[in-house]
Structure 1
Amino acid sequence: MSTRGIEAVFMETHNWGKAAKFFQGLGYELEFETDHNSGQLRNGDSPSVFIAEVPADRETSVQLVLQVEDADAFVAAEGLEVVTPFEDTHFGTRMMTVRDPDGRLWALQAPVKQ
């Protein structure tokens, strides 16, 4: 089984409020906000943008999250470097991290089976 495209963009910021307003100015709508300066926005049927505030002394990052339909059926292709295998997350999905040939990390996300 392979990935099914981009599920989401995970973005860190030093100011959740300003970042959310920026994306709302681009036509994104707030789907939900957490009580720890983060939240998710979406523009139509596009992948979601999840924004999390981090401390000012920490460098921010942006990561694309690729969708996997079934974590248990996913088979890593030969030569694919798995950094962390699928693990349950605190936000109700399963995540795996892989490294591309240039050293970038990619997140693969699958739903948790009920």
Structure 2
Amino acid sequence: MTTEGIEAVFLETHNWGRAAKFFQALGYELEFETDHSSGQFRNGDGPYVFVAEVPEDREPQTRIVFKTPDADAFRPDPAVEVVTPFEETHYGTREMTVRDPDGRLWSLQAPAGN
């Protein structure tokens, strides 16, 4: 089984409020905000953008998340280095981390319980 396109973009920021205003100015609507300086934005039917604030001493990261419908049915090709296998998340999905040939990390996301 392969992935089904991009599910989301996860972004880290040093200033949640400024980042939220930036995405809203680009036409994204805030779908929900957490009580710990993060939230999810959407613009149309495309991937959602999840933004989370991190401490100033941490370099903000960006990660693209690919969608897969069933974590249990997903069998990565040997050319794909699995860094962490599918694990349950605290936000109701299962995620796997893989590394591309240039060392970049990518996430695969599946519904929980599959």
Q: Per the shorter chain, which TM-score range?
A: over 0.9
* Structure 2: stretches of 5+ with no match in the other structure: none
Distance in 2 separating the partners of 1:53 and 1:4: 28
Partner of residue 2, structure 2: 2
Following superposition, the deviation at residue 79 of structure 1 comes to 2.2
The alignment status of 1:41 with 2:45, answered yes or no, reads no
The alignment status of 1:32 with 2:32, answered yes or no, reads yes
After superposition, give the CA deviation of every residue in 1:70-107 in whole Å (9 maximum; x if it has no partner). Answer: 00000011221000000000000000000000000000
* SS, match of residue 7 in structure 2: strand
Runs of 4+ in structure 1 displaced over 2 angstroms?
none
Q: Percent identity?
A: 71
Distance in 1 separating the partners of 2:80 and 2:32: 34
* Structure 1: stretches of 5+ with no match in the other structure: none
Amino acid paired to 1:112: A
After superposition, give the CA deviation of every residue in 1:36-75 in whole Å (9 maximum; x if it has no partner). Answer: 0000000011100000000011100111000010000000
Distance in 2 separating the partners of 1:15 and 1:84: 29
* SS, match of residue 55 in structure 2: coil
Q: With the length of structure 2 as denominator, give the TM-score of the two structures.
A: 0.98
Partner of residue 17, structure 1: 17
What is the CA RMSD across the aligned residues, in angstroms? Answer: 0.8
Q: With the length of structure 1 as denominator, give the TM-score of the two structures.
A: 0.98
Aligned length: 114
Distance in 1 separating the partners of 2:19 and 2:80: 34
Partner of residue 51, structure 1: 51
